[in-house]
Structure 1
Amino acid sequence: MRAEPAMSTGMHRDRLDAVLAALRESGARSVLDLGCGDGALLAPLLGEPWVERVVGVDAHGPSLARLRRRLTEAERPERARLIEGDFTAPALAQGLGGFDAAALVEVIEHLPPERLSAVEAAVFRRMRPATVVLTTPNAEFNALLGTPPSRMRHPDHRFEWGRAQFARWCQGVAARTGYAVALSCVGGAHPALGGPSQMATFSLGRG
């Protein structure tokens, strides 16, 4: 197996730390990990004492199989449930209501842009958790990673946004669905180009 570059590994840790901190600060006790993959976020969540319940959803069966083995080996599967499927499917999304928070870590850029309306409907209207934490690459930072303007950071990415594009989408979602949103850089911030990832924390009003 090829080792991940040190810079990429560090960026990934920074991202997970930022998402965990945002979920912790939200006061969540139950968390949806949407697009959970093989558990990069879900496994650390189970190590947090404030987490009572986690559900991971992913359409990629082999990733879930690896995660299921990982949970069994850790002997902590009793608080976690794994679901194979497309979290934007209306029937599945409708059954995932009632959670305190949802996380989408580097997920939306793997979807065709025309499916973002389905993400909005599923997460912000059907599931409707009190907090949604979402990260995606910052395309402006690609120049510092040596990624040519004609390419994206990963071959599976369907799009990558700069900060202004991300802000417009997030603010539009928030306005349409009744959430407030706060935007931040993840992994430090270049004075002109921002950080390698960008994060949105959506919150429903309480009161």
Structure 2
Amino acid sequence: MTSRHHEERLTAVLDVVRQSGAARVLDLGCGDGDLFVRLVEDPRYEELVGLDICRASLDRLRGRLTACELRVPRLDLREASMTEPPPDLAGFDCALLVETIEHLDPGHLSKLEQALFHRMRPRTAVITTPNADFNPLLGVPPHRMRHPGHRFEWGRAKFRAWCTRAAAAAGYAVRIDDIAGQHPDFGGASQMAIFRSDVATAPTTVA
């Protein structure tokens, strides 16, 4: 994916976080911190936690933070899995999963749903993931994925179905947007789901 699409994706996520009024934010699967280093320089946030299973990525992020103007009172970086989060990560204002779910084994998505929407249960959750419908415009051959670390890539219909079901089961409302480029037929290079618990009904029971 081009750097222009990457910047557009980060801008879209940051806009949602700011509009949500969040003060306490989780960056789940923060990696090297392309999003985190932008968050730490914004004084509107009171607490930021970055979580990743890769120690090397967290070390690189720590190095990047030394060059940032840290304007957030409480910062924490943790080596842990988003599917088995520490109990103290429950109840944050906002949780961000930016281009991370596609790195999970599809069989572990149910564990992510339980961890994110039922245990951590942030007021707002933002998930972005590659839009496989857009792949031909990036020169990605059929039956291939954009990155060797991706375990799956969903088109817009499949992502919408997963988000709609997960939101209904957990009592969230969800909005889905195309981001990072626009095409009349293929949408954006990425797709973004915004889940909110403060405008939804009670969760349904899923067998």
- TM-score normalised to the size of structure 2? 0.92
Q: Does 1:88 align with 2:79?
A: no
Hey, what does 1:4 align to over in structure 2? Answer: none
Hey, what does 2:205 align to over in structure 1? Answer: none
Quote the Cα distance in structure 1 between the aligned partners of 2:173 and 2:118: 14
Hey, what does 2:101 align to over in structure 1? Answer: 108
CA RMSD of aligned residues (A): 1.5
Quick check: 2:48–2:75 contact (8 Å CA) kept in 1?
yes
Q: Does 1:17 align with 2:4?
A: no
The Cα shift of 1:174 comes to 0.4
Amino acid at match of 2:81: D
Q: Give unpaired runs (5+ residues) of structure 2.
A: 201-207
Q: Give unpaired runs (5+ residues) of structure 1.
A: 1-6
Hey, what does 1:28 align to over in structure 2? Answer: 22
Q: 1:190 aligns with which of 175, 183, 191?
A: 183
Structure-to-structure mapping, 1:104-143, within 5 angstroms? 104-143=97-136
Q: Does 1:160 align with 2:121?
A: no
Q: Give the SS at the match of 1:160.
A: coil
Quote the Cα distance in structure 2 between the aligned partners of 1:13 and 1:153: 17
Give CA-to-partner distance per residue, 1:156-186, whole Å, 9 cap, x none.
1100000000000000000000000000000
The Cα shift of 1:95 comes to 2.2
Quick check: 2:46–2:73 contact (8 Å CA) kept in 1?
no
Quick check: 2:172–2:199 contact (8 Å CA) kept in 1?
no
Q: 2:52 aligns with which of 37, 51, 58?
A: 58
Give CA-to-partner distance per residue, 1:169-206, whole Å, 9 cap, x none.
00000000000000000023211111100000000125
Quote the Cα distance in structure 2 between the aligned partners of 1:73 and 1:183: 34
- TM-score normalised to the size of structure 1? 0.92
More helix by share: 1
Quote the Cα distance in structure 1 between the aligned partners of 2:109 and 2:164: 14
Q: How many residue pairs get matched?
A: 199
Q: Give the SS at the match of 1:11.
A: helix
